[in-house]
Structure 1
Amino acid sequence: MMKKFFMYSLAIFYIVAGTNHFLSPEFYLEMMPDYLPFHELLNVTSGLSEITLGLLVLYERMRKLACYGIILLLLAIYPANINMLLEALDGKDFGVPIWALYVRLPFQFLFIYWAWVVRDFKWSEST
């Protein structure tokens, strides 16, 4: 029962997070490192990726692949999270407290673990 909760909550989390890329694009564009090109395209791509992966988590046949995709996505965006903290320490205001930017870094690994746990969930286990 708990694994089912984690699976649904993982799917919802990424669908909502991905949708937020389209509702509040300026937040994501602000955090992108300057060395990355095409910020708008990257924002749309990551938003669509999160929505797609969140939906695929719901399908047993695609769950493992979706969870590995989420893990790769989290690893890919980790440098942007570090960059956001470093820029905030240099005085840039993201509207997020610096302590929250510090806390966010280890939470990425908790999110990776969450996807890792969900990847092998089978409906037959939920009874």
Structure 2
Amino acid sequence: MMRVLLAVLFVSAGVMHFVIEPTFTAMVPPFLPAPRVLVWISGVAEIALGLATLAPRLRPYAGWGLVALLIAVFPANVYMVFDDTPAIDAPRWALWARLPIQALLVGWAIWATEATKLVRR
């Protein structure tokens, strides 16, 4: 059940990259190039990796892919804390809360996908 919930979370988040693209584009730190393209790439990655968590043969790879993705988007979460972007309508405490939640998501991705099986081989 937790694996399905993880898949739904990431597929939904990936779809939102396209539904409310301007909000996600506003989250991209200015030092990164082509914010719109980065939003599209991360959206596709979230959808693909979320779906891959449901395929037993792909599951451990999807887990490590989610870990890499969560690490890659972490600068955007930090940027949101310190930037007053009007497109991001959230209280400051919620933006701060996202930072440790990323670590929890990393742990959940590793656990739910049994990603450590690849390390033990």
Give the TM-score of the pair, scaled to structure 1. Answer: 0.86
- What letter corresponds to residue 21 of structure 1 in structure 2? H
Q: Alignment RMSD, CA only? A: 1.1
- What letter corresponds to residue 72 of structure 2 in structure 1? A
Shift of 1:40: 1.0
Report the Cα distance in structure 2 between the residues aligned to 1:87 and 1:40, rounded to whole angstroms.
18
Shift of 1:95: 0.7
Gaps of 5+ in 1: 122-127
- 2:45 is aligned with 1:45: no
Q: Which residue of 2 aligns with 1:104?
A: 98
Which 4+ residue blocks in structure 1 deviate beyond 2 angstroms? none
Q: Which string of whole-angstrom CA distances, capped at 9 and with x for unpartnered residues, describes residues 11-62 of structure 1?
A: 1111100000000001110111111111111011000000000110000000
Identity rate, percent = 36
Report the Cα distance in structure 1 between the residues aligned to 2:109 and 2:41, rounded to whole angstroms.
20
Q: Which residue of 2 aligns with 1:66?
A: 62
Q: Which residue of 2 aligns with 1:27?
A: 23
- What letter corresponds to residue 60 of structure 1 in structure 2? P
Q: 1:56 aligns with which of 21, 37, 52?
A: 52
Give 1 or 2 for the bigger CA radius of gyration: 1
Shift of 1:120: 1.7
- What letter corresponds to residue 100 of structure 2 in structure 1? P
Shift of 1:119: 1.9
Q: Which residue of 2 aligns with 1:85?
A: 81
2:63 and 2:114 in contact (8 A); partners too: no
- What letter corresponds to residue 80 of structure 1 in structure 2? A
- What letter corresponds to residue 35 of structure 2 in structure 1? H
Kindly indicate which of the two structures has a greater share of residues assigned to helix: 1
Secondary structure at 1:61 match in 2: coil
Report the Cα distance in structure 2 between the residues aligned to 1:117 and 1:76, rounded to whole angstroms.
19
Report the Cα distance in structure 2 between the residues aligned to 1:6 and 1:76, rounded to whole angstroms.
23
Give the TM-score of the pair, scaled to structure 2. Answer: 0.91
